[in-house]
């Protein structure tokens, strides 16, 4: 295991620096905008612009990497992100900040595509799980360190932006000096949105609405915490606690999904999340109690995406997985780009606590939709004709029944069989064998389906949500 991690150390180090900078930049912008008392809609628009950039970057990144290669594409986009981060320090115009945030999203998606495609190509079947588990751990660690870096610079001066630029500049170095084999150019992943929405509606619905919840949290939770009277160090601790909870919950939730039907587990998770965020919106929480609530929020909110991804992957064929991954990322990006806008409108007219009230509404809609789809799938399964057909009339009335009845002697059975020219003569002592095979197609995501034994398949998106 240690040898595997060392062999990909350059990619992991680049990921750590990049995600640290991204997490620090997101929290800094949220606190800075809240400090100058701008409209909550502007804060939501900043986060939505980032996610729109991620969606657009998925298309731009494919073309760029195919044209100039992985390392050159990574270096070019890292340079643009570094300049964009410093642009926030030079210009105070919110319209320019919105454009810079869009550019950061586009370029960072290209960087993620470089890293993940590189890992995916050069990891083999023996170490793929270890490679991507390590990648996810490094990504979460980068998010936590980003919040810690914010607490070390409580004054909202230019220093955090300088640190962001330094980290984005340094993440180029490990890839530029790596001795690993350069990966092959990427091929565009096809999109089959309508096909997959019909085949795995529960999964994609969960991914879209989970994107709204997670995107709203990352974009607006710093402003919510500041409105509750927290200082910069407390806001950083609040965010870091949530991220750590999401990291710690991945492994046990994955093991649990191998034992409990994933569709049922997602609905249970949604109900618990809805109750929790409703309590966070209504109760006057503070101190350690507030940290405990946001820890539970991280456990429930950050596991919806991997659970839905695993449910989708267990219901499609192997040759459809690339297209499914592209559809999942697009669906999550669209959800995450609309969530902050709607949540910021709630906060603008109803106060900061409406952030979690909005999440409670989303959780309720998700549960209702999942229940409806699951019921429709069960009804569809019941209405489908079965392959098994009772054949009592044909067999009992047929002379073949005599050959199968042990009470009839062989001579009598032979006479009855000879009397029917459509039946094959059976020699005495030869016997008759018949094998019936019954197969029933399971409905895509209904509760009756047994979870796949191959384990939980996840797509690493949590590192992108900062």
Per-residue pLDDT of the chain (466 residues; tens, 9 = 90+): 566 667 788 889 999 999 999 999 988 988 888 888 888 888 888 888 998 998 888 788 878 888 888 889 999 999 999 999 999 989 888 899 999 999 999 999 889 888 887 877 776 666 666 777 788 888 888 988 988 888 887 777 888 999 999 999 999 999 888 876 677 766 666 667 788 888 888 889 999 999 999 999 988 999 899 888 888 889 989 999 999 998 888 888 888 887 888 889 999 999 999 999 999 999 988 889 999 999 999 999 999 988 888 888 777 776 677 677 778 888 888 899 899 999 999 998 888 899 999 999 999 999 999 999 888 888 877 776 655 444 444 444 444 444 445 555 556 656 655 655 544 444 444 444 444 444 444 445 655 444 444 444 444 555 565 6
CATH topology of domain 190-388+449-466: Growth Hormone; Chain: A; (1.20.1250)
**Chain centroid to CA 104:** 21
Question: Which DSSP string corresponds to 94-142?
Answer: HHHHHHHHHHHHHHHHHHHHHHHHHHHHH--TTTHHHHHHHHHHHHHHH
Calculate ∠ Cα 249-255-258, nearest 5°.
135
Nearest C-alpha neighbor of 107 from the set 121, 132, 87, 123: 87
Residues in CB range of 81: below 8 A, 6 or more apart: 21, 103, 104, 107, 108, 111, 168
Residue-level pLDDT at 185: 66
- Computed over every residue of the chain, the mean pLDDT equals 80
Residue-level pLDDT at 415: 61
Residue-level pLDDT at 175: 87
Six token digits for residue 279: 């309590």
CATH topology of domain 1-188: Growth Hormone; Chain: A; (1.20.1250)
Distances, alpha carbon 442 to alpha carbons 314, 373, 377, in Å: 12, 15, 10
End-to-end alpha-carbon separation of the chain, Å?
28
Residues in CB range of 170: below 8 A, 6 or more apart: 17
d(CA 32, CA 12): 30
Six token digits for residue 434: 């018949």
Residues in CB range of 283: below 8 A, 6 or more apart: none
d(CA 146, CA 166): 13
Contact 110, 66 (CB under 8 A): no
Instruction: Indicate the SS3 state at residue 313.
Output: helix
How many other C-beta atoms lie within 10 A of the C-beta of residue 166?
14
Q: Tell me if domain 1-188 and domain 190-388+449-466 are identical in fold.
A: yes
Contact 215, 339 (CB under 8 A): yes
113-133 pLDDT, tens digit each: 888 878 777 766 666 667 777
For the chain, the domains span 1-188, 190-388+449-466, 392-437
Contact 110, 57 (CB under 8 A): yes
**Chain centroid to CA 179:** 31
How many other C-beta atoms lie within 10 A of the C-beta of residue 235?
25
Residue 331 DSSP one-character state = H
Distances, alpha carbon 460 to alpha carbons 1, 78, 146, 268, 420, in Å: 20, 20, 18, 23, 67
Residue with tokens 């409406």: 354
Residue-level pLDDT at 426: 46
Six token digits for residue 371: 């229940």
d(CA 297, CA 309): 19
Residue-level pLDDT at 414: 60
Residues in CB range of 237: below 8 A, 6 or more apart: 147, 151, 291
Residue-level pLDDT at 272: 96
Residue-level pLDDT at 55: 86
Residue-level pLDDT at 119: 79
Contact 17, 138 (CB under 8 A): no
Nearest C-alpha neighbor of 70 from the set 192, 198, 205, 176: 176
Nearest C-alpha neighbor of 132 from the set 143, 146, 121, 144: 121
**Chain centroid to CA 69:** 27
Residues written for the chain: 466
Residue-level pLDDT at 455: 41
Residue-level pLDDT at 100: 94
């Amino acid at each position: 295991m240690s040898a595997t991690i060392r062999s990909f150390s350059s990619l992991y180090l680049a990921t750590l620096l990049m995600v640290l900078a991204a997490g620090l930049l997101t929290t800094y912008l949220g606190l800075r905008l809240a400090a100058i008392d701008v409209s909550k809609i502007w804060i939501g628009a900043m986060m939505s612009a980032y996610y729109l950039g991620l969606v657009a970057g998925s298309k731009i990144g494919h073309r760029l990497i195919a044209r100039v290669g992985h390392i050159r594409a990574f270096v070019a986009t890292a340079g643009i992100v570094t300049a964009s981060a410093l642009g926030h320090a030079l210009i105070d115009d919110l319209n320019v900040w919105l454009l810079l945030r869009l550019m950061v999203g586009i370029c960072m998606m290209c960087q993620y595509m470089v890293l993940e495609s590189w890992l995916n190509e050069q990891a083999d079947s023996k170490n793929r799980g270890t490679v991507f588990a390590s990648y996810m751990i490094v990504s979460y660690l980068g998010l936590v360190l980003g919040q810690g870096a914010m607490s070390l610079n409580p004054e909202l001066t230019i220093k955090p932006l300088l640190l962001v630029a330094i980290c984005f500049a340094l993440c180029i170095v490990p890839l530029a000096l790596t001795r690993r084999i350069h990966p092959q150019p990427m091929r565009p992943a096809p999109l089959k949105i309508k096909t997959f929405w019909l085949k795995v509606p529960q999964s994609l619905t969960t991914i879209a609405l989970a994107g709204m919840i997670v995107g709203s949290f990352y974009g607006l939770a710093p402003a919510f915490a500041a409105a509750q009277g927290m200082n910069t160090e407390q806001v950083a601790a609040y965010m870091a606690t949530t991220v750590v909870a999401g990291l710690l919950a991945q492994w046990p939730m994955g093991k649990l999904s191998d034992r409990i039907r994933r569709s049922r587990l997602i609905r249970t998770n949604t109900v618990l999340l809805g109750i929790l965020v409703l309590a966070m919106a209504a109760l006057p929480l503070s101190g350690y109690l507030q940290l405990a609530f946001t820890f539970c929020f991280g456990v429930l909110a950050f596991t919806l995406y991997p659970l839905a991804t695993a449910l989708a992957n267990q219901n499609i064929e192997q040759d459809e997985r690339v297209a499914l991954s592209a559809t999942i990322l697009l669906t999550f990006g669209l959800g995450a780009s609309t969530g902050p806008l709607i949540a910021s409108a709630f906060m603008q007219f109803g106060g900061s606590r409406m952030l979690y009230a909005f999440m409670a509404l989303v959780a309720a809609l998700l549960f209702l939709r999942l229940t409806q789809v699951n019921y429709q799938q069960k009804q569809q399964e019941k209405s489908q004709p079965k392959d098994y057909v009772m054949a009592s009339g044909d067999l009992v009335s047929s002379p073949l029944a005599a050959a199968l009845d042990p009470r009839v002697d062989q001579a009598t059975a032979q006479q009855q069989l000879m009397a029917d020219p459509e039946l094959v003569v059976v020699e005495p002592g030869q016997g008759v064998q018949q094998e019936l095979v019954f197969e029933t197609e399971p409905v895509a995501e209904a509760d009756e389906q047994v979870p796949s034994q191959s384990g939980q398949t996840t797509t690493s998106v949590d590192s992108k949500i900062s």
